[in-house]
A and B are shown apart, each in its own frame.
Chain A
Amino acid sequence: MRNININVEHVTRLEGHGNIVVNVKEGRIEECMWKVVEAPRFFEAFVRGRSYLEVSHLTSRICGICSIGHTLASLKATEAALGVEISEQTKLLRRILIQGENLQSHVLHAYFLVAPDLVGAPSVFPLVATHPEVVLRALRMKKLANDLCDIFGGRTVHPITPTVGGFTKLPGTGEIKAIRQRLVEAIPDLEATVALFKTLTIPQFERETEYIALTSDEEYALYDGDIASTDAGVTKVANYRSVTNEYLVPQSTAKYTRNKRDSYFVGALARFNLNHRQLSPLAKTVAEELGLKAPCHNPFFNTVAQVVEAAHAAEELIRLIDDLLSRGLRRENGEIKLRAGTGAGAVDVPRGILFHEYTYDDQGICREANCIIPTNQNHANIQKDMEAFLPLLLDKPEEEIRLKLEMLVRAYDPCISCSTHLLDVKFV
Chain B
Amino acid sequence: MKPKVAFFDFASCEGCQLQIVNLEAEMLDVIGAVDIVQFREAMTESSDDYSIAFVEGSITREKDIPRLKKIREQAAVLVALGSCATIGGVNCLKNFQPLEEVRRYVYGDRAHWYETFAARPIDSVVPVDFYIHGCPINKEDFVKTVTELLLGKTPETPSYPVCVECKLKGNVCVFELGRFCLGPVTRAGCGSWCPTYQDNCTGCRGLIPHPNTDAEKEVLQKYGLTVEQAVGQFRVFLGYGEVAK
* A413 within 8 A of partner (CB): no
Interface size on A, residues (CB 8 A): 61
Which one of A61, A158, A160 has the greatest number of beta carbons of chain B within 10 Å?
A61
Q: Are A15 and B19 in contact (CB under 8 A)?
A: no
Q: Are B15 and A63 in contact (CB under 8 A)?
A: yes
Q: State the Cβ distance, A263 to closest chain B Cβ, in Å.
A: 20
Instruction: Given A42-B116, A160-B193, A422-B106, decide whether A123 and B24 contact each other with a Cβ distance below 8 A.
Output: no
* A58 within 8 A of partner (CB): yes
B residues 1-29 touching A (CB-CB < 8 Å): 10-19, 21-22, 24-25, 27-28
Partner of A13, one of B42, B94, B96, B97: B42
A residues 399-421 touching B (CB-CB < 8 Å): 417-418, 421
Q: Are B199 and A160 in contact (CB under 8 A)?
A: yes
* A224 within 8 A of partner (CB): no
Chain A residues with CB below 8 A from B107, complex form:
40, 248, 423-424
Report A63-80 CB contacts with B as 1/0, cut-off 8 Å.
111010000000000000
Q: State the Cβ distance, B165 to closest chain A Cβ, in Å.
A: 15
Q: State the Cβ distance, B195 to closest chain A Cβ, in Å.
A: 9
Chain B residues with CB below 8 A from A67, complex form:
13, 15
* A424 CA / B109 CA spacing, docked (Å): 10
* A46 within 8 A of partner (CB): yes
Q: State the Cβ distance, B45 to closest chain A Cβ, in Å.
A: 4
* A108 within 8 A of partner (CB): yes
CB-CB nearest in chain B for A422: B106
Q: Are A61 and B13 in contact (CB under 8 A)?
A: yes
* B77 within 8 A of partner (CB): no
Q: Are A143 and B24 in contact (CB under 8 A)?
A: yes
Report B183-200 CB contacts with A as 1/0, cut-off 8 Å.
000000000011011110
Which one of B17, B40, B64, B199 has the greatest number of beta carbons of chain A within 10 Å?
B199
Counting residue pairs across A and B whose Cβ atoms lie within 8 Å, the total is 171
* A164 CA / B185 CA spacing, docked (Å): 26
Chain B residues with CB below 8 A from A10, complex form:
40
A residues 1-38 touching B (CB-CB < 8 Å): 10, 12-16
Report B40-60 CB contacts with A as 1/0, cut-off 8 Å.
111111100000000001001
CB-CB nearest in chain A for B12: A417
* A146 within 8 A of partner (CB): yes
Chain A residues with CB below 8 A from B42, complex form:
13, 112-113, 123-125
Q: Are B15 and A64 in contact (CB under 8 A)?
A: yes
Q: Are A146 and B24 in contact (CB under 8 A)?
A: yes
Partner of A42, one of B13, B41, B106: B106
* B86 within 8 A of partner (CB): no
Between-chain CB contacts (< 8 Å), 15 pairs: A12-B46, A42-B116, A45-B101, A48-B105, A51-B232, A61-B13, A61-B90, A122-B43, A122-B45, A158-B15, A168-B199, A253-B114, A417-B14, A423-B106, A423-B107
Closest 10 CB pairs of A and B: A64-B15, A123-B43, A154-B197, A46-B93, A423-B106, A39-B11, A122-B45, A122-B44, A45-B102, A160-B197
